[in-house]
Amino acid sequence: MTRLTAEFWVQAYLARLRFQEIPAFVVAHGDDTAGAVLVKLNTLDGQAAAYQREYNLMTGERAWSELASGAEMDVDAAIHRQCGFDPDLWVIEVEDRQGRHLLGDEGLE
């Protein structure tokens, strides 16, 4: 399976969100080639969730899993800790009152 660069995936993700009129911003610019990506979903009501992509060694598949959820301040703290572990990390913030992040859509796994 061919892997996309992190920068290419982020740009494609942002374009898909724009097409759905969902605001999103790059909060932390990681390594262009191989940086991991975290997505923070801000529902604009003081709540948020952060998602990270995991690789299943048994199946070879990638899937998005929840890193943290709850009060936005707590989710921000979890993201900050992850950035401390991985300076190459991308962080994308999605703002949507309906809770849409599109991560389950085909092509974004």
Tell me 14's DSSP state. H
pTM given for the model: 0.90
DSSP symbols for 91-108: EEEEE-TT----TTSTT-
d(CA 97, CA 44): 6
Residue 42 has pLDDT above 80, yes or no: yes
Mean pLDDT, residues 15-40 taken together: 94
> In sequence order, what are the residues at sequence separation of 6 or more whose Cβ sits closer than 8 angstroms to the Cβ of residue 54?
62, 63, 64, 65
Residue written as token pair 């085909």: 106
Q: What is the mean pLDDT of the chain?
A: 91
- pLDDT above 80: residue 109: no
Residue, of 61 and 7, whose pLDDT is higher: 7
pLDDT tens track for 49-90: 999 988 777 777 778 999 999 999 999 999 999 999 999 999
The total of other beta-carbon atoms located within 10 Å of residue 93's CB is 19
Query: What beta strand segments (E) does 1-103 contain?
Result: 24-28, 37-42, 47-55, 62-71, 90-95
> What is the model's pLDDT at position 27?
96
